[in-house]
Amino acid sequence: MNKDIRNILFIAPGGIGNLVLSIPSLRALKAQWPDAGITLLTCEAGVEKILDHEGLVTDTVCFKATPGQDLFGCLSQVRTLRAKGFDMAVSAGGVNPLSSGMVGVLSGIPIRAGQAVNGGSWLYTQRSAYASDEHELEGGLSVVQALGCPVVEKLPSLRITSEEESEARDYCARLGIAAGTRLVGIHSGVGKKMHAQRQWPLERFVRVMDALADTLGAVFVLTGGSHEQEDVRRIAALTRATAFSTAGELSLRGTAAVLKKCCLVISNDSGPAHIAAAVGTPLIVLFGPVDPVKSRARGENVAVFSKEGPDRILRITPEEVILKAMEMLS
């Protein structure tokens, strides 16, 4: 592969979780072309903030999709990309080649790399094989390997700075969380665009919290965006455990730093689940209709609950989550 690569477009149109899973691919690109600028192309405004202080992305372009529209529906905005003169476009794992490949072609990018997913891979100049049972993290790594990049990180990692850790300590102290507390993170939301079938009932989170508080003295931090404050307030009102809400109060990096202080996080399939795994916190993640084989959070200590049949997430019982949580906390 040509070493004279100065300007790379990295196409990752999904949300926080998809971007976190792309971190190993970004680290490989940066290791291979350390002097190159990398621009992130996303359809989710603000997700790039999770990469602050990581040294991976130098610029971000957000294609503003309307509801129900994917990257393909944003092709009219490619003049923004053409003006930037990219040498290479690299698609994250599992991205539709018809849309990402067409973005590269219309933007005049000579080197275009991605996975041969279904039709459309002819739009790429470099491609890697696609397997239907392959996780998108490995899919993304296969793309950068096709470009000659060695893998430098097999699992996503977010490197929280000492300043961010200090801010998280001060924040927790202001909430009244003492140092040495057995702190457990709870993320009961699924994001603005996600279907309610991905959300475990709030009352079941409460039952888990009560059991862990009674048996292990756990204290809880409830994370969420501003749109999830009502659910978080409801959980805090229902539980007899000590629980502190951070909903709507923290940035993505601030959330990451607080989750790093936890000894366990219990979450629906969501962006914060991926963040927790990437900062090295043990994680229990609860799946609804989405297949965890391809998109589950990846980390050193991740337990996944996923059931078959209709109303899959409702088949996950509080009792089995409590048992797994107690095992991981011990």
Within the chain, where are the H helices? Answer: 16-21, 23-32, 79-82, 97-106, 136-146, 162-175, 202-216, 229-238, 252-260, 271-278, 292-295, 318-329
Could you identify the residue written with the tokens 């409460």?
A: 206
Average pLDDT over residues 58-71: 72
For the stretch 102-132, pLDDT in tens is: 899 999 999 999 998 877 788 999 999 988 8
Q: Would the pLDDT of 98 be above 60?
A: yes
Q: How confident is the model at residue 310 (pLDDT cuts 50, 70, 90)?
A: confident
Q: Would the pLDDT of 320 be above 70?
A: yes
Q: How confident is the model at residue 97 (pLDDT cuts 50, 70, 90)?
A: confident
Weakest mean pLDDT among 41-50, 64-73, 317-326: 64-73
Exposed, middle or buried by CB within 10 Å (0-12, 13-18, 19+), for 330? exposed
Q: Would the pLDDT of 73 be above 90?
A: no
Q: What CATH fold (topology level) applies to the domain 162-329?
A: Rossmann fold (3.40.50)
Q: What does the alpha-carbon distance between residue 158 and residue 54 come to, in Å, rounded to a whole number?
A: 7
Phi, psi angles (nearest 5°) of residue 82: -55, -35
Q: What is the pLDDT, as a whole number, of residue 263?
A: 98
Share of the chain above pLDDT 70, in %: 95
Q: What is the pLDDT, as a whole number, of residue 276?
A: 98
Q: Would the pLDDT of 4 be above 80?
A: yes
Q: Would the pLDDT of 63 be above 80?
A: yes
Q: What CATH fold (topology level) applies to the domain 7-146?
A: Rossmann fold (3.40.50)
Q: Would the pLDDT of 69 be above 60?
A: no
Q: Who contacts 104 (Cβ-Cβ below 8 Å, separation ≥6)?
A: 9, 11, 89, 112, 123, 124
Nearest residue to 17 (alpha-carbon basis) of 272, 328, 204: 272
Q: How confident is the model at residue 96 (pLDDT cuts 50, 70, 90)?
A: confident
- Which pTM value belongs to this model? 0.94
Q: How confident is the model at residue 80 (pLDDT cuts 50, 70, 90)?
A: confident
Q: What is the pLDDT, as a whole number, of residue 157?
A: 98
For the stretch 233-288, pLDDT in tens is: 999 999 999 999 999 999 999 999 999 999 999 999 999 999 999 999 999 999 99
Nearest residue to 149 (alpha-carbon basis) of 267, 16, 6, 33: 33
For the stretch 174-216, pLDDT in tens is: 999 999 999 999 999 987 665 678 899 999 999 999 999 999 9
Residue spans of the domains in the chain: they are: 7-146, 162-329
Nearest residue to 240 (alpha-carbon basis) of 219, 221, 261: 219
User: Is 162-329 the same fold as 7-146?
Assistant: yes
For the stretch 211-245, pLDDT in tens is: 999 999 999 999 999 999 999 999 999 999 999 99
Q: Would the pLDDT of 298 be above 90?
A: yes
